[in-house]
A and B are shown apart, each in its own frame.
Chain A
Amino acid sequence: MTVRLGSTVVSPTADEPAVQVRGLVKRYQTTVAVNGLDLTLPRGQVLALLGPNGAGKTTTVEICEGFLRPDGGSVRVLGLDPVSDASRLRPRVGIMPQGGGAYPGVGAEEMLRLVAACAASPLDVDWLLRVLGLDGARRTRYKRLSGGQKQRLSLACALVGRPELVFLDEPTAGMDPQSRLLVWELVAALRADGVSVLLTTHLMDEAEELADQVVIVDHGAVVARGSPAELTATDDQQLRFRTRPGLDVDVLASALPAGCAVSETRPGAYVVRGTITPQVASTVTAWCARHEAYAQDMRVATRSLEDVFLDLTGRELRS
């Protein structure tokens, strides 16, 4: 159905968010993978779903893609139902599934041309292969591609149809630093051109760098949300530095002004919290000098997204 306003034909879904999830629930036998999750991705923005392994990120994305049916809650993608409206939705959406996907014996170029054939006005395949560094792998069989090459091919397949909305499930997993930078540049270019992007990651810097909005999930539920700036905002100042591990911090604490606390967060990584003045920095340097050590990488910092993340999701390893 379309609504006619004056002489312009407007799709009824044009002003709805790119993705809107309300109270999403998904269970697998005995475990609850997603437990009452809400999120909204406005058009033309980048939303990063950040969380530890097993937090429910991929399940959430696969429900939005229409590959899984939710057990509860509602999901609208470009104003449509991802399962029942799949055939209308798929041509408008670009999907990069986790771990990619292609025929084991297909050449990289052959696969991209097949996916491009499914779109009405695809991007130029030769150009896309070139910018994604796959020029030398055009005829390489998919199963012989490196992990990073498979990821880049998968990304190319997600973008080739000029979609309105792109789902990227861990787009930089297994990539070298150059490829990661390329993906970051790509996501920025997509956003600049008005494409909405929902990506999952467990890389803090990736979320911090790319996203308008970060949604931190754990155990299938949202534990925090906001822009990277909002999430890392704090009144607390910190002085971070590295030096020899295992030094006696009590000695330093007694030398610091009142209200400053010091701790060794990881072996050799120290942080002073409180009102940070040049005097504090000088005290730290003197303390290190007494131990015949340098205070390295000293910087005054606010909270990083990593601090926020670890504070919220804990420090123990996830299986």
Chain B
Amino acid sequence: MTDVLSPESRFAPGTFTPSPGRGRVTRMLFTQARTELLLNLRHAEQLLLTMIIPMALLVGLSTLPLLPVDEPRVDSVAPRVFALAVISTAFTGQAIMLGFDRRYGVLKRLAATALPRWSMVGARVLANLAIVAVQLLLLGVVAAFLGWTPSLAGVAGGVCLLLLGVAAFGALGVLVGGALRAEAVLAIANTVWFVLLLAGGVVLPADSLPDGLAVVVRLLPSSALAEGMESVLREGVFPGWAPLVVLLGWAAVAGVSAVRTTRLT
């Protein structure tokens, strides 16, 4: 080879002397989680989906007599909108981000670093939990102004349900976002969100749906999460094992499938 490295090279000798090694795991994990959180928070369509639409539904359904629920309406609407917020972030938002991240080669880029695989997944989970926390804080404050009085006895149960909801919908989001083309992910993730909102037991309780449909809807994670949230936060009563089993089942099936189908690009 000829000597491209002229004396006036911009690279002093020793600049690239190898000194490889893995960064601190906590630093890698939190740097990636923070990056993904910021990416979500400054993405306009994501904010529309995760913040603005749930907020509009919370205000609209609490103040207008559109749903067959008892007064005060906000006590039923707020827990159900919390469930919707989880679906928006963990399922639809995550699937779409993942679909486009794959298109832009980011998974391969990250896989090419010293980042362990579990940490790549862990950072996404942390980012999702952080977004859900921001959503619940904002929605909770607005709900309080609308007169929301949650049952404090149900808070622990509510947190437990929310975590299971993030797990189930997060796994479903990865299943959809990790295998299909970005455009297909966009279409499916938005359609499923809309169907679950109207017919998945989220804003309309399963009881108010036709009998045959209600049986199926109760097996959906959306219904399990929304009904469970309403039960714990309105009445302070844990709704029994049924919603837990439904959410855990969906989380397990979707998680195992996603591990098999997710591709880097």
Chain B residues with CB under 8 Å of A95's CB are 112
In this complex, what residue of A is CB-closest to B109?
A101
Using Cβ atoms and an 8 Å threshold, which residues of chain A touch B109? 97, 100-102, 115, 154, 157
Is A106 among interface residues, defined by CB-CB distance under 8 A?
yes
Q: Which residues of B pack against A, CB within 8 Å?
A: 1-5, 9-11, 13-23, 27-28, 31-32, 35-36, 38-39, 42-43, 100-101, 103-109, 111-116, 264
Contacts A/B (CB < 8 Å), 5 sampled: A97-B108, A119-B21, A188-B9, A193-B18, A228-B1
Within 8 A of B (CB), among A191-211: 191-195, 209-211
Q: Indicate whether A142 reaches chain B with its CB closer than 8 angstroms.
A: yes
Bound Cα distance A115, B113 (Å): 7
Residue of A nearest to B31 (CB): A117
Q: Are B13 and A164 in contact (CB under 8 A)?
A: no
Interface residues of A in 164-222 (CB under 8 A from B): 164, 184-195, 209-212
Residues of A within 8 A of B13 (CB): 192-193
Whether A210 contacts B1 in the complex (CB less than 8 A), given A114-B32, A118-B23, comes out as yes
Q: Are A92 and B20 within 8 A (Cβ)?
A: yes
Task: Kindly identify which residue among A113, A154, A185 contacts B9, using a CB–CB cutoff of 8 Å.
Answer: A185
Residue of A nearest to B11 (CB): A189
Across the interface, do A121 and B116 meet the contact criterion of CB distance under 8 Å? no
Contact A101 B32 (CB under 8 A): no
Nearest Cβ distance between residue A48 and chain B, in whole angstroms? 10
Counting from the closest, the 9 A-B pairs by CB-CB distance are A101-B105, A120-B21, A101-B109, A91-B114, A189-B11, A95-B112, A117-B31, A188-B5, A118-B113
B106 nearest in chain A by CB position:
A103
Bound Cα distance from A60 to B183, whole angstroms: 30
The secondary structure that dominates the B interface is: loop
A129 in the interface (beta carbon within 8 A): no
Which residue from B22, B104, B111 sits with its C-beta under 8 Å from A142?
A: B104
* Interface residue A278 (Cβ < 8 Å from any Cβ of B): no
CB distance from B21 to the nearest CB of A (A): 3
Knowing A97-B108, A104-B104, the reply to whether A163 touches B22 (Cβ < 8 A) is no
* A173 smallest CB distance to B (angstroms): 14
Q: Min CB distance, A193 to chain B, in Å? A: 4
Residue-wise, chain A 132-157 has the 8 Å CB interface mask toward B (1 for contact) of 00000000001100000000001001
* A105 adjacent to B4 (CB under 8 Å): no
Q: Chain A residues with Cβ under 8 A from B15's Cβ? A: 123, 189, 193
- A161 near B: Cβ within 8 Å? yes
Q: Judge if A87 is at the interface, Cβ distance under 8 Å.
A: yes
**Contact in complex: A185, B10 (CB < 8 Å):** yes
Which A residues lie within 8 Å of B31 (CB)?
113-114, 117
| Distance in angstroms between the alpha carbons of A5 and B71 in the assembled complex | 81
* B residues in contact with A93, CB < 8 Å: 20
Interface residue count on the A side (C-beta < 8 Å): 59
Q: In the assembled complex, which residues on chain A have CB atoms less than 8 Å from the CB atom of B20?
A: 91-93, 119-120, 161-164
A119 touches B10 (CB 8 A): no
A residues less than 8 Å from B111 (CB atoms) = 67
User: Are the CB atoms of A103 and B22 closer together than 8 Å?
Assistant: no
- Contact between A188 and B22, CB atoms less than 8 A apart: no
The CA of A184 and the CA of B108, in the complex, are separated in Å by: 25
Q: Which interface residue of B3, B17, B23, B31 has the most chain A CB atoms within 10 A? A: B23
Of B1, B17, B39, B103, which is in contact with the most chain A CB atoms at under 10 Å from its CB?
Answer: B1
Contacts of B22 in A (CB 8 A): 91, 118-120
Residue with the greatest number of chain B CB neighbours at <10 A, chosen from A120, A143, A184, A191: A120
Q: Does A37 contact B (CB under 8 A)?
A: no
CB distance from A164 to the nearest CB of B (A): 4
CA distance A308 to B199 in the complex (A): 67
Q: Could you say which residues of chain B place their CB within 8 Å of the CB of A103?
A: 35-36, 39, 101, 104, 106
- Kindly report which residue of chain B lies nearest to residue A167, judged by CB atoms: B112
A41 at the binding interface (Cβ < 8 Å)? no
Shortest distance between the CB of A271 and any CB in chain B (Å): 24
A120 touching B23, Cβ below 8 Å: yes
Q: At the interface, yes or no: A12 with Cβ under 8 Å from chain B? A: no
* Chain A residues near B1 (CB-CB < 8 A): 46, 188, 191, 209-212, 228
Contact of A117 among B21, B28, B104 (CB under 8 A): B28
Q: Which residues of B contact A131 (CB under 8 A)?
A: 10-11
Q: How far is the CB of B199 from chain A (nearest CB, A)?
A: 32
Q: Are A65 and B112 in contact (CB under 8 A)?
A: yes
| Chain B residues in 8 Å Cβ range of A113 | 31
Pick the contact of B116: A87, A105, A184, A193 (CB < 8 A). Answer: A87
Cβ of A99 within 8 Å of any chain B Cβ, yes or no, is yes
In the complex, residue of chain B having the shortest beta-carbon distance to the beta carbon of A100? B105
- Which chain A residue shows the least CB distance to B119? A118
B132 to chain A, nearest CB (A): 20
B101 touches A104 (CB 8 A): yes
Which partner residue on chain B sits nearest A158 by CB separation? Answer: B112
| Pairwise interchain contact A101-B9, C-beta atoms closer than 8 A | no
Report the minimum CB–CB distance from B23 to chain A (whole Å): 5
Contact A193/B106 with A46-B1, A104-B100, A161-B114 known, Cβ cut-off 8 Å = no
Q: Is the CB of A164 within 8 A of B115?
A: no
Residues of A within 8 A of B3 (CB): 188
Contact between A185 and B21, CB atoms less than 8 A apart: no
A21 is an interface residue with CB less than 8 A from chain B: no
CB contacts (< 8 Å) of B108 on chain A: these are 67, 97, 101
